[in-house]
Amino acid sequence: TQRTLVLLKPDAVRRSQVGEIVRRIEAKGYALVALELRTATPELLAEHYAEHEGKPFYQPLVDFMLSGPLVAIVLEGERSIEGFRSLAGTTDPTGAAPGTIRGDLGRDWGLAVQQNLVHGSDSEESAAREIGIWFPNL
Ligand code: ATP
């Protein structure tokens, strides 16, 4: 069994899609290990998005992630890292498959950053690192 870090980004909270997204996670059979409404800080985001520092969308991404509360979640389940990314769909909501969170609920606002509702860790190494950032007591 695997743990993964999921963020419901500020657009998900603003658009009242938290319940719908958590419903999909639970329907898939993943257990909620931690779930908190949080406001990010520049320090947390600098750690979380360290790999994107210097990219053109980095600052718009950080500004977007600071634009309102988000929901930080730790999920547990068999192959939950790959499983959640499959539930989420591809990064760009326009191309994301119907049936996925981004495909069903995401919109392309034509902005500098994809406001694509969710983040999910992409490997066991990132999951361990990101859970440490958002939930240091777990
Ligand atoms: P995926 O790995 O499926 O692409 P992700 O959320 O892990 O999803 P990252 O590549 O880690 O995506 O990028 C982090 C976030 O940065 C994206 O979810 C999106 O909000 C934003 N982003 C990434 N690439 C771009 C881009 N080319 N243009 C605008 N925003 C982007």
Does 79 count as an annotated binding residue?
no
Phi then psi for 78, rounded to 5 degrees?
-60, 120
Which residues in the chain show pLDDT less than 70?
none
75 touches 32 (CB < 8 A):
yes
Residue nearest to atom 3 of ligand 1 (CA): 91
Domains and CATH numbers, the chain: 2-134 (3.30.70.141)
State pLDDT tens for residues 8-28. 999 999 999 999 999 999 999
Q: What is the ipTM of this complex?
A: 0.89
**Given 3, 24, 48, 119, which residue is catalytic?**
119
pTM of the model: 0.95
Please confirm, yes or no, whether 48 is among the known catalytic residues: no
Pairing of strands 2-8, 118-120: antiparallel
